[in-house]
Amino acid sequence: MEIALAADIRLARRDAGKTGLPEVALGVLPGTGGTQRLSRLIGKSRAIELMATGRTMSFEEAEEMGLVNQGFERDGFFENVVAYARQFLPPQRASRAVGYIKRSVCSGMEMPFSEGLALERELQQHLFKSEDAKEGLAAYVEKRTPHFKST
């Protein structure tokens, strides 16, 4: 789970086993980022409870808790994961905007709120100069689906 917690988005196959941070049963703590990432993701109280008890859970429960973004059935799992990933790419999405969203969120969480807002404004300014922003705004005005090229 610690490796998965480092990811921006977590997908899982339903009925594929259990997940958790059971290191307490070994007399140690989740020492590769688990204590920090889990608490930031689900809150301090719930994170302490899960780690202090070492309880594991199904991927379905992890999805309900917000640890898994989406679960897919065994049949067609790989195809569903690929389709999920494609929604973040051109022509459906402007990949530079997706990247800047990630940068703004990840970097912004590590700085004071006012600095996070400044970073957001700076990245938005860069995006407004892009061809994808021109395409997205034109498509909105023309009431059509945008076709992004990520230029």
Q: What is the pLDDT of residue 46?
A: 95
Q: What is the pLDDT of residue 150?
A: 79
Q: What is the largest CA-CA distance in the chain?
A: 61
- Verdict on whether the full-model pTM lies above 0.85: no
Domains and CATH numbers, the chain: 2-86 (3.90.226.10), 95-141 (1.10.12)
From residue 135, give the alpha-carbon distance in Å to each of 3, 104, 146: 37, 22, 6
Per residue in 15-29, pLDDT (tens digit) is: 999 999 999 999 999
Q: What is the pLDDT of residue 151?
A: 65
Rounded to the nearest 5°, which phi and psi values hold at 27? 85, 15
Which string of b and e fits 11-33 if b means at least 16 CB within 10 Å?
Answer: bbbeeeeebbbbbeeeeeebeee
Report how many helices (DSSP H) and strands (DSSP E) the chain contains, helices first: 8, 4
Could you list the active site residues? 2, 23
* Neighbour tally for 133: CB within 10 Å: 18
Kind of pairing between the strands at 11-13 and 70-72: parallel
* Weakly modelled stretches of the chain, pLDDT under 70: 151
Per residue in 38-62, pLDDT (tens digit) is: 999 999 999 999 999 999 999 999 9
